Structure 1
């Protein structure tokens, strides 16, 4: 079974691939009749619209801000400062249709010899409990 693409929908509907794209992304660019015909053909073929992953690759925007946790992700839901930070971040990102991605960072292993007291390894632990990853090219 071949994958149904915007190009195959365009061939079946007798329109250009850009018209298929406009039917999903910019409906005001098409007449209602043409848009309805494209969507009907797409539904008949089983085409569900543009792939969000492909759109992210083409635009260079992931639609998410990553927060790298230096502890387990459950820390973000138990520490009052982390909760406040994430709540504020979520409020700021709401209008921009950007999500938050929590990423757990693997625990560092202490390279000290086994005879070294455990507090020596603890002193090498990171002090910050989270880091903000801002996508390249995003507005600051």
Structure 2
């Protein structure tokens, strides 16, 4: 079975954030790093070249595929901030209704800039996502 493409790396997340070119995106990433550290109580770890993850979880699907992935995290991409909530946002519509401007994917929340959203609601989403994930798979701190 193929391994996940996105694996933990030894890159320092703070160095990665400090190297983000756009000043607003870099400041937003610093704010998100502080928020994720506070909410999770965990230290960040880079996953692949651009994702900052907090904690991890091990899974085995009915198909037999198994692996490990970040429990929650974000990526300060050029186009937007991508927040990763596993296993997804399906049950969070009532919370998302209070967030502000965003777009959504299966397990990604896309935000143009933090000024567009309510950070208290972001915190609530991260907590709810971790609780939801923990009911499905064992979550480990980082």
TM-score of the pair, normalised by structure 2? 0.24
- Between Structure 1 and Structure 2, the one with more strand by share is 2
Between structure 1 and structure 2, the one with the greater Rg is: 1
- Between Structure 1 and Structure 2, the one with more helix by share is 1
